[in-house]
Structure 1
Amino acid sequence: MEAVNDGKDLHISVTMPSIEVGTVGGGTQLASQSACLNSLGVKGASKETPGANSRQLATIVAASVL
């Protein structure tokens, strides 16, 4: 955490180098897990950009940690 912009703003970051998330397979087909992924808009694989939904889920988790 550090002050920036002449002390008018606060910069906060988190580093999570080994976060493991998934939007396909495993328990993602269970009703409650599937509903949560649907509500976040990241359920299943992205047809246009492989890995995009998992990346977005990891971003959501990191933002929640902050």
Structure 2
Amino acid sequence: MKLYRLLTAPDDASFCHKVTAALNNGWELYGSPTYAFNAATGIMQCGQAVTKTVEGKDYHPDIKLGEQ
């Protein structure tokens, strides 16, 4: 099965750590990162899509994507 996640975080080291952790757990970057201003918080937000292929499992809506 192919899994998809959109990682988001404030524009600080926590975002880089989140993406780095995903890459080290077998996820691959998908597309370009995104960057936007959150007017409600006054903080710039980053986003990066990642995908991962997991063999031998079937998708179901209850799956915990971050645990794969």
Give the TM-score normalised by structure 2: 0.28
Higher-RCO chain (CA-CA 8 Å, sequence separation at least 6): 2
Structure whose alpha-carbon radius of gyration is higher = 1
Bigger share in helix: 1
Bigger share in strand: 2
Give the TM-score normalised by structure 1: 0.29
